Structure 1
Amino acid sequence: MTQSPRIPSALALVTTLFCAPALAATPPEGGLEVELNKLEQRADACVTYLVFGNRTAVDLTSLQLELVLFDDQGLIQQRLALEAAPLAAGKTSVKLFEVADTRCEQIGRILVNGIGACSSAEGTLTDCLQRIEPSSRLSTKLFK
């Protein structure tokens, strides 16, 4: 008895239908550079200048960073959630974030503690925290 030639085609169709959404949600290739570039005091707030280098081939429609600020003694000052998107694929962008009720000289280190959201037009992306490449041009360290 011979097998029908349509079975492999049907199997391929089912595999394509069920695997295609998973492919859309795969992580982008390349890194997400995040550089702490400048801290600027404004009244009772510290303005943080972050330079983002989206070295992926995917436009990010959401990139929510969970940051934890430590003082120079290593004590936690506060926790922030910052939305950095939109971030165009292959583009460098500068984003400013105001940290209220904080003196810049009180910030010793900034931890990228997690990712609250990471997505493109195709849907939610995984593995974004692993792709973050933190750096700093200041004595204040940005790390994960």
Structure 2
Amino acid sequence: MTQSPRIPSAIALVATLFCAPTQATTPPEGALEVELNKLEQRADACVTYLVFGNRTATDFTSLQLELVLFDDQGLIQQRLALEAAPLTAGKTSVKLFEVADTRCDQLGRLLINDVTVCADDTGARSDCLQRIAPRSRLSTQLIK
């Protein structure tokens, strides 16, 4: 009896499927979306409206961001720390931050330079910066 050329191919395919590493059955946690949504000038301060979309399964009790503000020429204007928490799992929220002595029309971009503190109910987390997905609806960029 001669063997069909398809049989070795089928055996190889089945062996590959059963021997290949399996992927995790639980999906990875989602992103922490941060969107620069609006800038509003008030006297000598620029009010920054940030929209946070917590697409994870985690309630964050602390999320301190180190932001660096650049002017429209690319020069660093100032560095500030912002506390964005609490951020509830699966929820979108808006946070306003006043940046003193700053003109909104002179901001070129905002850099999320670091996450200085990130914690949930179990304690400190080290994966928050990697999870941040920045974007902007304005000509002023939000980057990391």
Q: Letter of the aligned partner of 2:68 in structure 1?
A: V
- Greater strand fraction, Structure 1 or Structure 2: 2
Question: 1:127: how far off?
Answer: 1.2
Q: Which amino acid is 1:135 matched to? A: R
Partner Cα separation in structure 2 for residue 72 and residue 101 of structure 1: 16
1:32: Cα distance to partner? 0.2
Match of 1:103 in 2: 103
Which structure is larger by alpha-carbon Rg, 1 or 2?
Answer: 2
Does 2:54 correspond to 1:58?
no
Q: CA deviation at 1:141?
A: 0.2
Tell me if 1:73 matches 2:91: no
Aligned to 2:134: 134
* Alignment root-mean-square deviation, CA: 0.8
Q: Which letter maps to 1:113? A: N
TM-score, structure 2 as length reference: 0.80
CA-CA distance at 1:42 after TM superposition: 0.4
Which string of whole-angstrom CA distances, capped at 9 and with x for unpartnered residues, describes residues 97-118 of structure 1?
Answer: 0000001011100000000100
> Percent identity over the alignment?
80
Following TM superposition, where does structure 1 have runs of at least 4 consecutive aligned residues deviating by more than 2 angstroms? none
Offset of residue 30 of structure 1: 1.1
Unaligned runs of 5+ in 2: 1-27
Query: TM-score, normalising length from structure 1?
Result: 0.80
**Structure 2 Cα separation of the partners of residues 41 and 90 of structure 1:** 31
